A and B are shown apart, each in its own frame.
Chain A
């Protein structure tokens, strides 16, 4: 809502309060003023001129040579390029030395050999937008009314010596979509009075009811419809003050009748519509829901197909307006109109919202209906418009208002105790302070002991409950004046849940291991949604996506980390390690919410170590990433519950992929991205993992328990085995540990050789074994005995023998 500072003074005395000060006080008490525009900033030296002579420029077809009286000294010659300039016009002249917006300075000049002493201006040259300039002056200079005084300040005449406050209104303060609403608000803030506009009418004796009959079928959509008839109007321009006020509020002037309806819209917040009575083609207004498929051409000349969701004003048969949204081309006021039917109605906001949405038509009118108009202003707005039409369009207002009224208007009456106000706000207000705030707001109130009962005026439809009254008190008392305290009451322990705490540990561990945390989008494309999914269900698609790339909820994180790797690789960062924690979404039918599972994924690529001056360069490989995961599971106390089992995952290298199992159940994968995928995405060798973080974090871990540090030395024996190539290390290790129990405590691989020195189909794999007894020092003989058992078992169960 744009609020003219000058116009506002019609209703509230603003003496001693500058526009800037007013803006700040309005902001602090509840409505954010987003800006204050000084309309005549950077403008000076602009006066009313009178074009005495106009002739064709001798050397230029499109220029005019004008002799203009500017009220000071002799008339001056001005060259003007506007097609509409003519002798006898009162015009806006920027005199020599004048300044205009955009840093324009007017100088004496010669144009094609002819002297020019100033410039005749268009409104755009004064800083106004073309779309609010009256159509007839949009492409040329602006012509002032004949009675404009030559030499006077044209900026004042055009109301450009004004400042406009731009209000950022929240949906609850629809009352301030009107000058009167802003006036009440301003008056409350300043503690001053509101003066209401003039509506005093002297109707002619003819009765409006003889001209029209009103029937409302859709009473829920339209509980109040009132019409006035104004005869003998003369369509012409509205007075300059009205036009300029409309323009300062961002509305283009058309003609006196239309301008008056728009002026009332701004003044009262009540949308009005003027029909050409003679073009209605009947003496009836029937308000009903449209029929499905019914066609109707709105006054922007667009044919629209209606449905039964839409409310229409008809002449008994055909629509003449899409109620509350836009009038029809068939009944629009034209320059030939002589009789006007003026509609002032109360429409249901939801109905209007639906129509305005369906047809993509958001008008000043529809947005006010949507947010709710003041039911008690419907009639006064009509009266005021009729009054202005009589005054400025020469009309005769017929006696009476024809209406259908099924609207029950009950102002909200709310009682509240002073104790409650102080309890909610944490203040120590006295009743007289509270009462005074409601007086300033012009809310009727009465005090009975500790209770104040407030009747909220209908213009403030947002006041319904006690809390609304508390807010009025708080904002007018001033939030700056409310004390600062902290909640009192029983203490609550603040802490993370075990899950949240472990998730933080996971992040810290991975970052300590060299991975950066990434955050990517949950919405993705159909193609990417299920890639690398741990579990595949049908995908969840948005009803109305903004693009195909962001249309499906993801089932995995890996594709997004690969995108991150690709993005960075393309920017000279081809050694990279990243991880992400985030939810994936599994469908649960169309009725239930999807199942959300928290996943953890990581990707590494390029060099893992690059000690340039030490000459060490080591690319990432499967075991770098596996080592990171092993460290993670160790940190979470899950080492003994996790296994890695060779597996096939689509999009991963078939020979370099493992399934990660927790207690024997698959929870994720680790592997190299398939070379063909790497090639397609232009990636170096990249290793990824993804796992069900939820399962890992929800796994109960054993309580920490101290184990005694061994007091006796252990004995180590290393063995190098010749084993079949396909025998995996974990098989050998399991055999060793089983056969060596209980003295054998540890066995780990320390060497692997698969080269040509080995017999065909064999590999050499070396283990280091550690024997110990917590109670005593082992003898060599004892160890040898067990060790022999181990070697025997290896030979028997896996055909692995000691290398000679």
Chain B
């Protein structure tokens, strides 16, 4: 009997070792350890044994069962691990294949520039003011010290609808309207972005519709030096800390004194190249101290209040910043152009 048990143990262990999968293993478990299995059968013959032998044989039988069970468990763990490994192997993918694309669009480059400038000035305490694109001659010209017949009106040939109504030629009327709304009280700090229109034939450098951003600060004791300092902060933030600015005297009917601001050329570092027409400087914007007539017309006491204003063209800035060669690209909306401005710098 003892031998028979040993035999069974060896036989079972061999079978377990040879089993190829969990089902076979289970079959082995049932056939050896089940109620109808050979070990149970052997134990049924225990009745014939002596009282001394019986506990010994019982203990042996349990040992054999335990050994087989342990072996089965060991084998089961082994087979399960192999199954997991096989499953993982079968699930392997080519990680270099492209992912499912997420459709993402982006800002038009002009919006990108405008929002960048807006945010920069918001950080300095400015608000964003907007106004109508179709304007009264009064706000577009007269309130800005450009009476009818003024020769400077030639500088910006306009699209009139009636004698008194036209498409605004600049965003300056928003300044006039804002000042009027403030009823002679300060301070005002605004940025006015928007579409403007001039009688130009569309070509690589002209567009009958384009964007403009103007800024206006009115308060007590606003100085030319404040304009210079503000513009320098703006230029360095927008174009880079290494850029220099210079102011040149100029003329605009609504400011006095008037200046133009140049920034040092990035391409050549100020030594002169084609981009800056060999001057080392690139013209960026026009500015000046608000003309007292403009202040007075809007209801401000020009003895008490002063202000500065500046204006620039987002198209020109985008063209300089991104190296765009033709202004018409902005209005053609070729997606191969638009998608190039997705990157957040």
Which residue on chain A has the smallest CB distance to residue B153?
Answer: A171
Chain A residues with CB under 8 A of B123: 494
A29 contacts the other chain (CB 8 A): yes
Q: Which of B103, B130, B338 contacts A518 (CB 8 A)?
A: B338
A711 contacts the other chain (CB 8 A): no
Which residue on chain A has the smallest CB distance to residue B186?
Answer: A489
| B105-A467 in contact (CB<8A) | no
A83 contacts the other chain (CB 8 A): no
| B232-A484 in contact (CB<8A) | yes
| A371-B151 in contact (CB<8A) | yes
B230 to chain A, nearest CB (A): 6
| A467-B226 in contact (CB<8A) | no
| B247-A497 in contact (CB<8A) | no
Which residue on chain A has the smallest CB distance to residue B223?
Answer: A426
B323 contacts the other chain (CB 8 A): no
B89 contacts the other chain (CB 8 A): no
A67-85 residues with Cβ-Cβ distance < 8 A to B are none
Bound-state Cα–Cα, A88 to B100, Å? 90
Bound-state Cα–Cα, A540 to B106, Å? 32
A714 to chain B, nearest CB (A): 31
Bound-state Cα–Cα, A593 to B136, Å? 7
| B223-A480 in contact (CB<8A) | no
Chain A residues with CB under 8 A of B133: 522, 583, 585, 596
Bound-state Cα–Cα, A353 to B151, Å? 9
B278 to chain A, nearest CB (A): 10
| B151-A485 in contact (CB<8A) | no
A344-359 residues with Cβ-Cβ distance < 8 A to B are 349-350, 353
> A414-457 vs B: 1/0 string, CB under 8 Å?
00000000011111000000000000000000000000000000
Identify which of A482, A550, A594, A611 gathers the most chain B CB atoms within 10 Å of its CB. Answer: A482
Chain A residues with CB under 8 A of B250: 30, 32, 170
Q: Which of A466, A482, A489, A543 contacts B224 (CB 8 A)?
A: A482
A578 contacts the other chain (CB 8 A): yes
A169 to chain B, nearest CB (A): 9
> B296-339 vs A: 1/0 string, CB under 8 Å?
00000000001000000000000000000000001111111011
Which residue on chain A has the smallest CB distance to residue B150?
Answer: A171
Instruction: Given A426-B224, A487-B230, answer yes or no on A553-B134 (Cβ-Cβ < 8 Å).
Output: yes
Which residue on chain A has the smallest CB distance to residue B155?
Answer: A171
Bound-state Cα–Cα, A424 to B162, Å? 39
> A41-75 vs B: 1/0 string, CB under 8 Å?
00000000000000000000000000000000000
| A567-B224 in contact (CB<8A) | no
Bound-state Cα–Cα, A312 to B226, Å? 51
Q: How many residues of B contact A (CB 8 A)?
A: 87
| B201-A546 in contact (CB<8A) | yes
Bound-state Cα–Cα, A507 to B223, Å? 38
Instruction: Given A483-B228, A613-B97, answer yes or no on A471-B256 (Cβ-Cβ < 8 Å).
Output: yes
> A589-632 vs B: 1/0 string, CB under 8 Å?
01001101000000000001111011000000000000000000
A516 contacts the other chain (CB 8 A): yes
A511 contacts the other chain (CB 8 A): yes
Q: Which of A521, A564, A578, A590 contacts B209 (CB 8 A)?
A: A521
Instruction: Given A493-B125, A611-B100, answer yes or no on A517-B161 (Cβ-Cβ < 8 Å).
Output: no
| A546-B165 in contact (CB<8A) | no
A515 contacts the other chain (CB 8 A): yes
A360 contacts the other chain (CB 8 A): no
| B105-A514 in contact (CB<8A) | yes
Instruction: Given A479-B247, A518-B338, A596-B132, answer yes or no on A370-B151 (Cβ-Cβ < 8 Å).
Output: yes
Bound-state Cα–Cα, A494 to B249, Å? 30
Chain B residues with CB under 8 A of A590: 162
| B225-A484 in contact (CB<8A) | yes
Q: Which of A511, A512, A550, A594 contacts B134 (CB 8 A)?
A: A594
B243 contacts the other chain (CB 8 A): no
A305 contacts the other chain (CB 8 A): no
B108 contacts the other chain (CB 8 A): yes
Instruction: Given A475-B257, A487-B222, answer yes or no on A514-B104 (Cβ-Cβ < 8 Å).
Output: yes
Bound-state Cα–Cα, A542 to B187, Å? 37
| A427-B225 in contact (CB<8A) | yes
| B111-A517 in contact (CB<8A) | yes
Stretch of B3-11, B29-37, B38-46, B213-221 with 4 or more beta carbons under 8 angstroms from chain A? B213-221
Chain A residues with CB under 8 A of B127: 492, 494-497
Chain A residues with CB under 8 A of B249: 29-31, 471, 474-475, 479
| B228-A519 in contact (CB<8A) | no
| B197-A507 in contact (CB<8A) | no
Q: Which of A479, A504, A521, A596 contacts B331 (CB 8 A)?
A: A521
Chain B residues with CB under 8 A of A32: 248, 250, 260
Chain A residues with CB under 8 A of B187: 489-490, 492
Bound-state Cα–Cα, A795 to B135, Å? 60
Chain B residues with CB under 8 A of A582: 195
| A542-B161 in contact (CB<8A) | yes
B235 to chain A, nearest CB (A): 11
B285 to chain A, nearest CB (A): 14
B268 contacts the other chain (CB 8 A): no
A558 to chain B, nearest CB (A): 14
B65 contacts the other chain (CB 8 A): no
A195 contacts the other chain (CB 8 A): no
Chain A residues with CB under 8 A of B149: 350, 353
A523 contacts the other chain (CB 8 A): yes
Bound-state Cα–Cα, A483 to B107, Å? 38
| B223-A423 in contact (CB<8A) | yes
B79 contacts the other chain (CB 8 A): no
> B49-92 vs A: 1/0 string, CB under 8 Å?
00000000000000000000000000000000000000000000
Chain B residues with CB under 8 A of A593: 132, 134-136, 165
A294 contacts the other chain (CB 8 A): no
B115 contacts the other chain (CB 8 A): yes
Identify which of A482, A487, A553 gathers the most chain B CB atoms within 10 Å of its CB. Answer: A487
Chain B residues with CB under 8 A of A171: 151-152, 154-155, 251
A402 to chain B, nearest CB (A): 31
| B151-A484 in contact (CB<8A) | no
Q: Which of B107, B195, B220, B224 contacts A425 (CB 8 A)?
A: B224
Chain A residues with CB under 8 A of B219: 487, 489
B229 contacts the other chain (CB 8 A): yes
A77 to chain B, nearest CB (A): 44
| B208-A546 in contact (CB<8A) | yes
A486 contacts the other chain (CB 8 A): yes
Instruction: Given A426-B225, A492-B187, A613-B98, answer yes or no on A516-B339 (Cβ-Cβ < 8 Å).
Output: yes
B259 contacts the other chain (CB 8 A): yes
A697 contacts the other chain (CB 8 A): no
| A519-B232 in contact (CB<8A) | no
| B232-A479 in contact (CB<8A) | no
Chain B residues with CB under 8 A of A573: 334-336
Bound-state Cα–Cα, A350 to B217, Å? 34
Bound-state Cα–Cα, A500 to B129, Å? 10
Which residue on chain A has the smallest CB distance to residue B330?
Answer: A519
Chain B residues with CB under 8 A of A475: 249, 257
Q: Which of B154, B232, B334 contacts A571 (CB 8 A)?
A: B334
B108-123 residues with Cβ-Cβ distance < 8 A to A are 108, 110-111, 115, 118, 121-123
Which residue on chain A has the smallest CB distance to residue B127?
Answer: A494
A234 to chain B, nearest CB (A): 40
Query: 10 closest A-B pairs (Cβ-Cβ)?
Result: A426-B225, A514-B103, A170-B251, A471-B257, A426-B223, A30-B249, A484-B229, A479-B247, A467-B256, A516-B105
A-B contact pairs, 25 of them (CB 8 A): A30-B248, A30-B250, A173-B251, A349-B151, A423-B306, A424-B224, A471-B257, A474-B257, A475-B249, A482-B225, A485-B223, A485-B228, A485-B229, A486-B229, A487-B217, A496-B127, A496-B128, A507-B111, A514-B103, A522-B195, A577-B103, A593-B134, A594-B134, A596-B133, A614-B100
Other A-B contacts than A423-B221, A487-B189, A516-B335, 18 sampled, CB-CB below 8 A, are A170-B251, A171-B152, A171-B251, A467-B292, A474-B249, A474-B257, A479-B247, A489-B220, A500-B128, A512-B104, A513-B103, A516-B106, A519-B108, A519-B331, A520-B333, A573-B334, A578-B105, A611-B101
